[in-house]
A and B are shown apart, each in its own frame.
Chain A
Amino acid sequence: MQIPTSSPRLIRWLLYGCAVALCDCTAALVLPAALSSQGLHAQESANATQIDAEQRQNFEKKVRPLLAEHCWSCHGQENAESELRLDSLEGLLDGGTRGPAILPGQPEKSLMITAVNHADRLQMPPKQKLPPAEIAVLANWVRDGAYWPDARPAERSERVREAAPEMLRDEDRQFWAFQPVNRPPLPEISDRGWAFGPSDTFIRSRLDQEHLRPVAAADPATMLRRATFDLLGLPPAADDREDFWSDPQLDRFDRLLDRLLASPRYGERWGRHWLDVARYGDSNGLDENLAFANAFRYRDYVVRSLNRDKPYDQFVLEQIAGDLILDPAAPSSDPLDPLIATGFLALGAKMLAEDDPLKMQMDIVDEQLDTLGKAFMGLTLGCARCHDHKYDPLSMSDYYALAGIFKSTKTMENFSVVAKWQERPLGTPDQIAQRSQIQATIDAQQKQVNQQIAALNQELLAHVRARSREYLLAAAAQIWQERTQRSIGTALGIAAATGQVAPVTDPEAGSVPSPQVLEAENYQRGNALKHFNGYGEGIGVILSNGNGGWHAEYDLSVTDAGWYQLEVRYAAAASRPTELSINGKLVRSDALREVTGSWYPDTQKWHVERVVELKSGVNVIRLSRFEPLPHIDKILVARVDPALDVAALFAAENPTDSSPVRADSYELKAPFVDQWRQRLERAEAEADGPLKEWRAWMVASKGPEFRPSLASAQALAALATQTGQRLAAAEQQWQQLLKTRASAQAEPPNELPDADAESFRKLLYESMPGAPLAIPSNVEEHYAPSTKDALRRNRDELQQLRQSLPILPETMAVGEGTLEDLPIHLRGNHTSLGKERVPRRFPRILDTEPPAPLTASQSGRLDLARWLTRGDHPLTSRVIVNRIWIGHFGDGLVRSADNFGRLGDRPSHPELLDWLARRLLDRGWSLKSLHRELMQTATYQLSAENHDAAQLADPDNRLQWRHPRRRLEAEAIRDSILAVADGLDLRMEGSLLPIANRAYVTSTANVNPQIYDSPRRTIYLPVVRSALYEVLQAFDFAEPSVLNGKRDATTVAPQALFMLNSTLVAQQARAIATQLMRQPMQEEGARIEWLYQKVLGRPPREGERAAGTQFLQTYASHLERSEPNLSSDDRWLRVWQAVCRSLIASNEFVYVD
C-alpha cells in the first residue's frame, strides 16, 4: 500500500479515523483521489473496443444525462456515498463498498440495475423510482457493453477497501482497562485505627486527599438489616434477629456473614443479579413470543453454582464452553451442569420470524457477542459490527474474528420462519447414545416415508400430465356445466324456491317434466344428525357435529334416463364444501360451498349444484363430508331439456378418442380437475400466455345473454383438445430433452428452448398453490389402496418407534457447528461481504502479538473461555469485582458496569479495583470470599447519614464517605411482603411456567395472570419477555431482552398504586392482621409494637405508636359508617389490615440504610 504522506496523524485518520467517520452511517468517506485504488478493470471492459457514432449519441443524449440527474449528487465528485462514483466508467466498474456497480453485458447481474429496479433492499434513487423507460435505457446500455466515450484506463492506484487495518495507537494500549491488573501498595492514611482491612485504606486515602471524613459507623440493627438484604434479598427473620442479638461476641457480624453466606437464599439473591447480566427470560419476546420452557434449568444452575461458591473462572468457562468440557461421568452431583450453563449463550431474545435466514443467524451471533462482551469484559463489541468501534480500539476485523467463533457454534436447529432453537438432551452417555440410535432409525424411517410420498406424488403427477387432454376436457365440462347452469339453472332454482315449479321452455324444445324435491332429513342411509328445532326449526334439516365422516344417501327414482339438474337448499355461516356423488361416482368435490350468512333457516337458499346424468330407475345421490356438513334442508332434481343433450355435446368434438370424455366418466383425480378448472377460469383475464385462446369463450359465456348450445360446447371441447395437444407436445419435447441431456452427461435443463412450448411445459410443472398440477392437500386419498396401506404401516411403525424413544429432559444449549471464518460484512450487511475472511481470534488490543492460534478443530469457544479466565486477562476479574461492589454499594467503582471502554466511566478507585481483583484471584476466584472482603470493611459499615461538607464536596458519594440508602429491587419488595406475612414458599428450583415448550406465551390478546399467583420467591416466577409481570415492571425490573448490570431505582406513581391497591399487598396485609388478631395481647399499643416487630423488625418510636393508635379509632369509625353490617371482629380485622398495608407501604419497608 502506498501512502502519500508521512504525517502519522493523517495516516491514522485515513486508516482508522476514516472508519470512525462512517460510524453514523450517514456519509461515506471520500478518500483523496490519490488513494483511490482497486486494480482497474477498464482495460478488460467492452470499452476497449471502439464506440460507434450511434452509441456515442445514445450515451450523450440519454445515458449521461440520466446519470447526471439522478446519480451524481450522491455518487459523484463531491460525494461518493458508499465509496461509489458513477461519473466515470472506472468508477462504475470499480464499484463501492458493495462491489462493482455494473457487469458490462449483464444487466441482470449488475447491482446498479437491480438497485434502480428497486428489486431488493438496495433501492436507488432512494426517494423515487425511475420511470420504466429510463430504467430500460440504463439496462440496455449495460447490456450493450456499457460504452463510455473517451474512457481512458485510469492510472493504477490503491484504495483502502476495508477500513481500518490493525493499527493500534499507544494511546489505545495505554488505556487503563487494558493494563494488567496490578498489585498496588497500600496507601498511608490519616487514621489507621479507622480501617478494618486493606481495602479501607484505599477509600480513606482518597477521602484524606479531599480533606473529607467518613460519617460514623452504622448501628448493629442497621447492619443486620443491610447485610441480610444484601446477601439474601429478604429482611432478617425473627430467628436471625434472635441469633444476632444473642451473640455477645465482638465478631458477631462475622458470624452473621457466615450464616448468611451459607443460606441457600444467597444463591437466589445473587443468582438474580447474574440473571440481569445474562438477560434471562422464559420466553423469546421480540416477535414470536414462544415459551423457553427449559430456560429455568439455566436459572437453577446459576443459583446452584453461586450457593456452592463455584469459582468464578469455572462459572465463566462453563457458560461459554461448558459443552466442550463436559464429563458426564465426573463424580459430581450435577455432571451435566456445564452443558446447562451454555444456556447463557442460547437464551437471548431472537427474531424467530426473520425472513432472511442468514440475517437471522448473524443477528443471533451479534446478540451473543454483544452480551458476552459486556457481561465478562465490559466491552461493547456489538458496536464494531457495522463499523470500527467509534471510541474503543475494536475494529471490524476484531468483531468478525470473534463472530466467526459464534458462527461456528450451533445455537439453532434451523432458521426457518418460525425458527427453532437448539435444545440438547440431559442424560448419561448411554441414555443419549440409545436415544440417538432410536432417533437415527426414526429419521431413516421418516426419510423413507418422505421418499415414498415423493415418489408416489411424482407417479401421480406423471399420470395427470400424461392425461392432460382428458383432464382439460373434464375441466372444460365442469366449466360448461357451471356456465350453462347459470342460465338454465337459475330459473329452475327460483321456481323451486317459491314452490312454483314451472317447466322451462327452450325456444328449440318442448317442455320438461316437473322437478322432484327430497327432504334432506328423509335420507335412506347415512349418519347425519336430524334437527327439527333450532337450526331446523319447523322444517327439519340435517347437520353434523365435529369431524368424523358424515354422509347422507338418497334413493331417487326417475322414469327417463338423461340429464338432470341437481339443486340443494341449505344454510351455512362458513363455507363447507361437500362431496356430491351420483351412483358411486364423485361428480363434484366442492358442492354446497356457498356461505349464506348463518346456520339458521332464515338464510337458507337454493343453490344449483350440478347437471348430472341419471339412469332410468333408482339412482343414489350421496352427500358426504369428513368435517361438519352445512345445514341442509332440501334437494331438488329437475330434468334438463332433452333437446339439450349434454352427452352429445361433449361427444361431438373428439377427434382422437371415440368415447365421449366427461368429468365423471374416467378415474380422473377430482382435485386436479378442479385445479385445471380454476386455472382455465383465470384465463378469462389473460390476453397473453398459453391459455390466451380461452379468453374469448370465458368472457362470452359469462354474460347473462349466454345460452347453452351445441356450438358453445363444441367450441369449448375444441379448446380443450387443442390445449391438450400443445401440452402433450411440450411434455414430449421435455422428456426428449431430459433424455438427450442425460445421455450427454450434461446439466439437466431448466427450460425448453422454445418459449411457446416452455409456457405450456410450465403449466404442467409449476408447483405453487393455484397451479394446475400443484400437489393437493388431500393427495394421499388418491394413492392406490395398496400403496395407502403400505404407507399406513410405515407410519404406524414410525409412531411406535417414536413412543419407544426414551424421554430425557432437554436444555437450551449450544454445540459446535460448521467451522467457518467470516469475511467482514460491509456496513454490517450480510449481503455485502468483504473479500477476505478474517481468521477467528481474540481482539487485537487484548491479544498477544502475533495472535494466539485457536484450536483448529473447534469453533474457538473453549479457547475464548480459557483466554477470558486466564487470570491475567485485564478485564474479567475487574468487571466481576465491580459487579459485586455494585451489589453492596449501589454503584460501581466503575459506574458504567457494562462498559469499561472509553465511553464508560473511569474507576473512582483504580488501585482498590485492582487490589480486589488480585484478591479474588488469590482466593481462587471465590465470590463468597469477595463478599466477605467487602462487607467486613469499615467502608461498608458506614451509616447512611448525611454530612453537609462531604455532601457539598462529593454529592455523588463517589468517594464513599457514607453508605448509600437504597430502595429495594422488585424481587426484594415482593419477597419481603410475602416473608413478613409468613407467606413465602422457600422451595427451590423447577419451573412455574405452565406453557408447553415452544408454544406461544402470549397471543394477541391473552396473557395468563395466574402464572404469577405463586408464593415462591420472585426469582422463580416466569420472566415473560414482552409481557412482563406488572409488579416487576412497576419496580424497574431489568428489561429481560438486554443485559443490564445496574438497575434503575425510579420513584413513580404506579409503585404507590401497587402498595395502595394491589391484591398482593391486600392479601398479605390481611394475613398479618389475621395473625395479629390471634395474639393474646389486647392493648393497642402492644399490638402496634407486635406489628412493627413483625414488619420492620424493630419496636415503634413514640410518635409512630401514637400515629398508629390515632388511626385505629378514626379508621374504625369511618369503616363503621361505610359498612355498618360488619361484625366487630371483621371490622377490626379490616382496620388492622389497613395498618399493616400502611406499614408495608411506608418508606422504611422499601429502603435499606
Chain B
Amino acid sequence: MEQEHAVKAHACHRFEPVHSRRAMLRTSACGLGMLALADLLAGDSRCQSAEAQAASNPLAPRPSHFAARAQNVIFLFMHGGPSQVDTFDYKPLLERDHGKPLPFSKPRVFSSATGNLLKSPWAFRQYGQSGAWVSDLFPHLARHVDDLCIINSMWGSNSRHGGALLELHTGSDTFVRPSIGSWITYGLGTENANLPGFITICPTLTHGGVNAYSSAFLPAVYHGTPLGNASIPSDQAKIPFIDNADKLPLDLQSLELQLIQQWNAEHQQTRGPDPALEGRINSFELAFRMQTTAPELQEIHDETADTQRAYGLDNPATRNFGRQCLMARRFVERGVRFVQCSHSYKWDQHGGLKADHGRNAVEVDQPIAALLADLKQRGLLEKTLVLWGGEFGRTPVAQGDDGRDHNPQGYTMWLAGGGVKAGIRHGSTDDYGYYSVQDKVHLHDLHATILHLLGLDHKRLTYKYAGRDFRLTDVHGEVVHEILAAS
C-alpha cells in the first residue's frame, strides 16, 4: 500500500511520454489548471473526472491510512528554546532549593558550564478545571489550559540549536531530510488548489534555514512555501515572486498570460501531445490564480477590528506574531495543510532570562490565546492540531545568575485541538525539571503522534530514495496513545 502511495505521489513530475489522458496529467503539478487552457487547446483537453485529477495531481487531497482526527496543523515554533521551568513545568523543589547544587549529575554533553539551581523568577498558578500550573509569563494562554494537552516529558537528542532544530522539523539531527510539513503534504495533499499546501511564515534563516521546511528528497511540490523570512515583518511577508516587479495591474498581466498561452498552444501543435508541455501551460494558470488569491495570502483587511485587536495587532509588542497567528487561521480555514509560525530565535536566554523571556512571552501570549479562541469559535479547533514549542528546553540550573543553558533532556511542548485530549498533562520531568523521567516522549514519538492524528501511520508513510524506504521517524517513534482523545 505505501509503496503504491509513494509511487503515485512522485511519478507526477517525471518525464513520461503520453499514452493516456491520465498520464498526460501526471507531469503537471497542477492538474486543475485546465480552465483557460480549454479555450486554447483542442476540445479533448477538457476536464476529466475528479478521480483522474486526484490520481494525477500530487497536491490533490489523498485519503489517509485510517480515520483522521485532524485535517490541518499549525505549528507555533519558539526558536531558541523556551524554558520549561519558567512556563508550563512547575517545580516547587526548584524554588525551595534555589542556589543549591543540582543533587544529581548533569548530562555528559552540554553547551556550556552551569552553576546551581535557579528558581523561576515567575510565580506559578493553577488555572481552569484541569488546574494546570502556568507561570505568570502566559496570563492569556493560561485561560485556555483546559484546551491544552501539555507534554512535560519531551526529550530530544541534540543540545545545539542547529541539530535540535533539524531534529524537531525533520527527525534527523545529522542529515538533510524532508521536514514534517513536507511529509504531511506528501501524505495527504492539500485542499485548496489555489494555495500552497505547506506554508511557513517568516521562517528563520539560521540553524539550518531552509532545511527546516525543505522537501529534501521528496518532490519539490512538497517544499514549504516561505512567506518572507525572519528579517521581514509579517505584514510584509510574501510568497516569492507573487508581486509583479513593475506592479502591473492584473488586466495587463492577464493579456500577457493569454499571449503566452497562445504561443504555447502554437508550439504544442507543432510538437504533438506532451504532458510536460501541457503541465507547464497549466502551471501558468495556477500561478495566475494564486496571484489573484494573493490578498488572502498577504492581507487581512477583511478581518473585523475586534478580531485584529484580539490578536494584538493594535499593539507594537504583539503585532508581528499576532499577524502570523491570524494568517495561520486564515490559511487553515482555506485548507492549507500545514502552517508554521515562527517566533524567530528569541528564546535563547543564556543570560537576561528575566527581561527577555518576559518580553518574548508578551509578544506571543495574547496572539496564541486569540488563535485558540478564534479557532474554537469558528469550529476549526476540532480539526486543527495546534503545536507549540521550541527546539529544546532550558536547564533548571543557572548560567550566570540570570540565564539558563540548552536542555534537550526534558522540556515541555503542548498541543491543542485536532484530536488530542484537552486539559491534560502528560509525562513529567524530575523534581527540578532537568530530565524527562515519566512517560517520556521523544521527538520521534511526537512526530509519530502528529502523523497518527492526521490519519497517517508513520511506519507506512515512506518514500524510496537512494535505495531505501525513508520515513519521518527513521526507525523510531511510537504513537503516544495516552494523549489521544476518545473518538
Contact = CB atoms under 8 A, between A and B. Distances in A.
Interface stretch (A630-638, A858-866, A1134-1142): A1134-1142
Given A285-B209, A351-B174, A1147 B105 contact: no
Nearest to B445: A127
A289 B259 contact: no
Contact of A1050 (B220, B229, B249, B264): B220
Nearest to A1044: B217
A1002 B209 contact: yes
A770 B115 contact: yes
Contacts, number: 323
Contact of B274 (A128, A946, A1027, A1150): A946
A1104 B270 CA distance: 12
B308 interface: no
Given A1052-B283, A1103-B266, A353 B160 contact: yes
B176 A1039 contact: yes
Nearest to A1122: B249
Contact of A1138 (B176, B239, B256, B467): B256
Given A1061-B244, A1108-B259, A951 B17 contact: yes
B245 A353 contact: no
A1153 interface: yes
Given A363-B174, A1148-B267, 20 more contacts: A26-B475, A287-B165, A349-B176, A351-B162, A383-B468, A417-B111, A682-B99, A768-B113, A896-B467, A902-B467, A904-B467, A951-B17, A956-B16, A1051-B27, A1057-B291, A1060-B291, A1061-B243, A1147-B267, A1147-B268, A1147-B281
B83 interface: no
B417 to A, nearest CB: 26
- Which of B256, B272, B401, B430 has its CB near the most chain A CB atoms (within 10 A)? B256
Given A1030-B240, A1055-B283, A128 B440 contact: yes
B438 interface: yes
17 contacts: A118-B409, A287-B161, A287-B165, A354-B160, A686-B100, A899-B467, A902-B467, A1006-B205, A1007-B205, A1050-B29, A1051-B276, A1065-B245, A1066-B244, A1107-B266, A1108-B259, A1111-B259, A1138-B259
Interface string B226-249: 000111100000011111111001
Main secondary structure of the interface of B (DSSP, over half): loop
Contact of A119 (B107, B229, B467): B107
A1033 B210 CA distance: 10
Interface stretch (A31-39, A248-256, A1113-1121): A1113-1121
Contact of B266 (A285, A363, A1058, A1104): A1104
B344 A1005 contact: yes
A1092 to B, nearest CB: 10
- Which of B287, B437, B438 has its CB near the most chain A CB atoms (within 10 A)? B287
Interface string A182-200: 0000000000000000000
A901 B467 contact: yes
Contact of A1026 (B208, B217, B279): B208
B30 A1107 contact: no
A1063 B109 CA distance: 48
B264 A1146 contact: yes
B13 A1049 contact: yes
B23 interface: yes
Nearest to B268: A1147
A1039 B216 contact: yes
A1139 B110 CA distance: 60
Interface string A1091-1111: 000000000010110011001
A24 interface: yes
Interface string B115-137: 11000000000000000000000
Contact of A1004 (B29, B206, B217, B440): B206
B207 A287 contact: yes
A944 interface: yes
A391 B467 contact: yes
A890 B264 contact: no
A1066 B23 contact: no
B108 A1118 contact: no
Contacts of B60: none
Contact of A955 (B19, B163, B438): B19
B263 A1146 contact: yes
B290 interface: yes
Nearest first, the 5 A-B pairs at minimum CB distance are A287-B162, A685-B99, A903-B467, A1026-B209, A1005-B231
Given A355-B160, A1057-B240, A890 B15 contact: yes
Interface string B1-32: 00000000000011111110001000111100
Contact of A1111 (B230, B255, B284): B255
Nearest to A952: B19
A1101 B266 contact: yes
Interface string B274-302: 10110111111011101100000000000
B240 A1054 contact: yes
Interface in A999-1047: 1000, 1002-1007, 1025-1028, 1030, 1033-1034, 1036, 1039, 1041-1042
A810 interface: no
Interface of A: 24-26, 117-121, 126-129, 285-289, 349, 351-356, 363, 380, 383, 390-391, 417, 678, 682, 684-688, 768-770, 890-891, 896, 898-899, 901-904, 944-946, 951-952, 955-957, 964-967, 1000, 1002-1007, 1025-1028, 1030, 1033-1034, 1036, 1039, 1041-1042, 1048-1063, 1065-1067, 1101, 1103-1104, 1107-1108, 1111, 1114-1115, 1118-1119, 1122, 1138-1139, 1141-1143, 1145-1148, 1150-1151, 1153
Contact of A117 (B105, B251, B257): B105
A1000 B206 CA distance: 9
A354 B28 CA distance: 41
Contacts of A117: 104-105
Nearest to B115: A770
B435 interface: yes
B162 A286 contact: yes
- Which of A902, A1030, A1056, A1111 has its CB near the most chain B CB atoms (within 10 A)? A1056
Contacts of A1139: 259
B99 A686 contact: yes
Contacts of B257: 1060
Contact of B262 (A25, A944, A967, A1107): A1107
A965 B98 CA distance: 71
Nearest to B223: A1033
Contacts of A1049: 13, 15, 276
B211 interface: yes
Nearest to A127: B440
B151 to A, nearest CB: 13
Nearest to B275: A1051
Contact of B263 (A952, A1053, A1119, A1142): A1142
Contact of A1145 (B16, B284, B286): B284
Contact of A128 (B111, B220, B345, B438): B438
Contacts of B115: 768-770
Contacts of B282: 1051
A1059 to B, nearest CB: 8
B260 interface: yes
A1003 B18 contact: no
Contacts of A891: 15
Interface string B395-415: 000001100000001000000
Interface string B313-351: 000000000000000000000000000000011000000
A1111 B266 CA distance: 15
Interface in B159-176: 159-163, 165-166, 173-176
A1050 B245 contact: no
A967 B275 CA distance: 12
A1105 to B, nearest CB: 10
Contacts of B401: 678, 770
B273 interface: yes
A1115 B257 CA distance: 12
